[in-house]
């Protein structure tokens, strides 16, 4: 296995009396698809929110390419090469599809004011729009690019959330339940896209997901969380056979 | 919306400047007064819309910066002997700096806490205008000497009109530039989802601070405009009634839209004139009418006049 790009070291998160995460460690190999699964409330989204620097762990460290993320503010996480999607799709609803993707490119076109006269004023902006068009074409959203995000159907909004994350050309992509609510045809397309991104473009992906069809199909490695603690880790076949995992899922939360 | 701005978009502004120069030649003074007020309110409302409509920050301190701009423009001339061309931009800059100062704590507050804190700030400023009578003239107000612009006196509606029109044209041009720039997009991102904005690499706090300062600067400019056609300012000009009026203009016209804000200013600015000529007895209920319009607009027209009747047909087109 190649070197780990990203790791959590004994991370604990406490909300008042509740331990949302307890001494949680995880190593994500460069170019792999690493799934993070577990019953509802196991702490999966908490892990993402720590990486995004929305939460600060009470203990432990988070390393990306050997650097600690905990010293960075939330907006610098995108700059070091980490992008994410959200479980409850977070889009700029009134802006067009294209404008949402351009927001995802904030790190690639730095600065607020494209100064300078006429055409040259927008050289960076134009390059960004071209790149955004290409990305939208890849995800099948190009025809909808001038439509407000709120006018898209659920699947379309999910895709746009993903497009916005990909727009920053991240090296690590965090996906928070990308398949939730999608139809199986859409899940198959997502499956193919994720595999293409990881195998052909070297993107490293951490995937939080309940849809096992997707997880078992694409994951190189799976980490299982329950009540804020890691209960299993390994290749999909190993994890599926692990009695602790079976108990966590079937014993308490059969719907997953 | 983004991309190279077409020159044709600047034509209405040129028309505005021309009208500003020509209208005073044949329009009665009273209509020029209404025109000056509307153009000043337009600057005030455009600044408020940046904060409220674009960035989604529910802040009420705007009226205080309006006061700082007005008192500042007058006092910098009378106390420090600065010429008007220096004192007006300086007062606007001062308002912007004050906006920057309160932005640092305000950027940490959300929703109703932000509204309350900034409302308290505005009340405090009005109290200061009232109480600091050795400087502001207190409740008696402050008499304004007609400011000189390159040797020509302004000071009444007729003479100030071309200047006011020019300032509005410049402010509208600046707003077109700001809102179509990446800043405009960052503001929308923050309004719709601070988490998505931050995860996309937008510095949420810094963007809020910038928009607070810009918005305060607009209000300061409007304050300076006021001193060119009024001969008197007093603390009441910077009170709650004005806050309700500004809010109504922005909300009724359409939040987060330059054209919508201008429509709202026209609609609510002309309302008292309409009431005066058609339903005189209603005029004393003016405040109530504004409040009612504000509530009804929020309930039935959340996208404002502009958003309801003009946009909404289709999404915006991005050139290229």
A93 in Cβ contact with A148 (< 8 Å) = yes
Q: H or E stretch including B39?
A: helix B29-49
Q: Is the same domain home to B30 and B111?
A: yes
In chain A, residues with a C-beta closer than 8 Å to the C-beta of B189 are 92, 95, 103, 106
Interface test mutation site (partner B, options A54, A84, A106, max chain B beta carbons within 10 A): A106
Q: What is the pLDDT of residue A113?
A: 59
pLDDT digits (tens, 9 = 90+) for A160-217: 999 999 999 999 999 999 998 888 899 999 999 999 999 999 999 999 998 888 998 8
B14 secondary structure, DSSP code = H
Mean pLDDT of B158-175: 92
Residue B311 — very low, low, confident or very high, per pLDDT cuts 50/70/90?
Answer: low
Min distance B2 CA to chain A CA atoms (Å): 8
In b/e form, how buried is each residue of A66-99, taking b as 16+ CB within 10 angstroms? eeebeebebbbbbbbbbbbbbeebbbbbbbbbbb
Q: B201–A75: do the CB atoms touch at under 8 Å?
A: yes
Nearest to A174 by CA among A85, A100, A238: A85
Nearest to B200 among A104, A125, A147 (CB): A104
State ipTM: 0.86
Domain end (from B192, B211, B236): B236
Q: Which helix (H) or strand (E) holds A237?
A: helix A236-241
Residue of B278 and A148 predicted with greater confidence: A148
Question: Chain A residue closest to B207 (CA)?
Answer: A112
Where among B236, B265, B295 does a domain terminate? B236
Type and span of the H or E element at A5: strand A4-15
Statement: residue A25 has pLDDT above 90: yes
Say if residue B79's pLDDT is above 60.
yes
Are B232 and B312 found together in one domain? no
| 8 Å CB contact of A75 and B202 | yes
- Considering the domain architecture, whether residues B39 and B180 belong to the same structural domain is answered as yes
Alpha helices in B139-284 (DSSP H): 157-180, 182-192, 194-199, 204-229, 240-253, 258-278
Check residue B142 and give left, alpha or beta (phi > 0: left; psi -120 to 50: alpha): beta
The set of residues, in sequence order, having a beta carbon less than 8 Å from that of A85 and lying 6+ positions away, is: A158, A161, A162, A164, A165, A174, A175, A176, A178
Q: In chain B, what percentage of residues exceed pLDDT 70?
A: 92
Domain boundary among B211, B236, B261: B236
B181 vs A contacts (CB less than 8 Å): 112-114
pLDDT in tens, A67-101: 999 999 999 999 999 999 998 888 888 888 999 99
Tokens of B74: 């007058």
- Do B249 and B231 belong to one domain? no
- Our count of domains for chain B comes to 2
Same domain flag for B53 and B169: yes
Q: State which residues form the domain around B277.
A: 239-320
Least confident of A111-120, B77-86, B187-196, B243-252: A111-120
């Amino acid at each position: 296995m190649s070197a780990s790009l990203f790791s959590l070291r004994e991370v604990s998160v406490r909300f008042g009396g509740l331990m949302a995460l307890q001494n949680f460690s995880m190593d994500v190999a460069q170019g792999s698809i690493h799934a993070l699964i577990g019953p509802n409330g196991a702490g999966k989204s908490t892990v993402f929110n720590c990486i995004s620097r929305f939460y600060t762990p009470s203990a432990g460290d988070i390393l990306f390419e050997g650097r600690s993320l905990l010293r960075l503010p939330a907006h610098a996480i995108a700059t070091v090469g980490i992008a994410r999607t959200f479980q409850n799709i977070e889009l700029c609803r009134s802006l067009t599809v294209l404008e949402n993707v351009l927001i995802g490119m904030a790190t690639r076109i730095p600065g607020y004011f494209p100064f300078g006269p006429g055409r040259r004023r927008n050289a960076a902006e134009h390059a960004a729009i071209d790149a955004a068009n290409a990305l939208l074409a890849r995800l099948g959203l190009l025809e909808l690019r001038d439509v407000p995000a709120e006018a898209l159907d659920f699947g379309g909004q999910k895709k746009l959330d993903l497009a916005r994350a990909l727009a920053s050309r991240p090296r690590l992509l965090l996906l928070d339940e990308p398949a939730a609510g999608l139809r199986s045809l859409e899940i198959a397309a997502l499956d193919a896209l994720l595999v293409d991104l990881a195998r052909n473009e070297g993107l490293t992906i951490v995937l939080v997901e309940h849809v096992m069809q997707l997880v078992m199909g694409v994951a190189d490695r799976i980490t299982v969380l329950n009540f804020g603690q890691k209960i299993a880790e390994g290749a999909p076949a190993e994890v599926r056979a692990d009695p602790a995992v079976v108990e966590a899922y079937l014993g308490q939360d059969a719907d997953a | 919306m983004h991309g190279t701005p077409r020159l044709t978009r600047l034509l209405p502004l040129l028309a505005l400047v021309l009208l500003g120069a020509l209208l005073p030649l044949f329009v009665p003074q009273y209509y020029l007064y209404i025109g000056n007020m509307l153009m000043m309110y337009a600057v005030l409302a455009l600044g408020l819309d940046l904060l409220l409509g674009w960035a989604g920050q529910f802040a009420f301190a705007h009226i205080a910066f309006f006061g700082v701009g007005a008192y500042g423009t007058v006092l910098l001339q009378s106390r420090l002997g600065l010429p008007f061309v220096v004192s007006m931009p300086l007062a606007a800059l001062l308002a912007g700096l004050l906006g920057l100062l309160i932005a640092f704590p305000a950027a940490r507050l959300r929703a109703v806490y932000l509204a309350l804190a900034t409302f308290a700030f505005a009340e405090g400023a009005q109290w200061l205008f009232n109480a600091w009578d050795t400087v502001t003239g207190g409740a008696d107000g402050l008499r304004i000497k007609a400011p000189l612009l390159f040797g020509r006196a302004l000071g009444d509606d007729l003479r100030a009109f071309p200047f006011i029109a020019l300032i509005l044209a410049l402010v509208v041009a600046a707003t077109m530039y700001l809102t179509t720039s990446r800043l405009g997009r960052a503001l929308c991102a923050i309004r719709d989802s601070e988490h998505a904005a931050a995860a996309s690499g937008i510095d949420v706090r810094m963007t809020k601070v910038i928009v607070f300062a810009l918005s305060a600067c607009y209000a300061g400019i409007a304050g300076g405009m006021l001193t060119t056609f009024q001969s008197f300012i007093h603390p009441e000009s910077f009170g709650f009634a004005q806050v309700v009026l500004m809010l109504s203009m922005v909300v009724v016209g359409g939040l987060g839209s330059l054209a919508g804000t201008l429509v709202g200013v026209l609609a609510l600015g002309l309302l008292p004139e309409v009431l005066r000529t058609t339903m005189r007895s209603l005029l004393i209920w003016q405040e109530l009418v504004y409040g009612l319009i504000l509530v009804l607009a929020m309930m039935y027209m959340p996208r404002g006049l502009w958003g309801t009747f003009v946009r909404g047909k289709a999404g915006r087109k991005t050139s290229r």
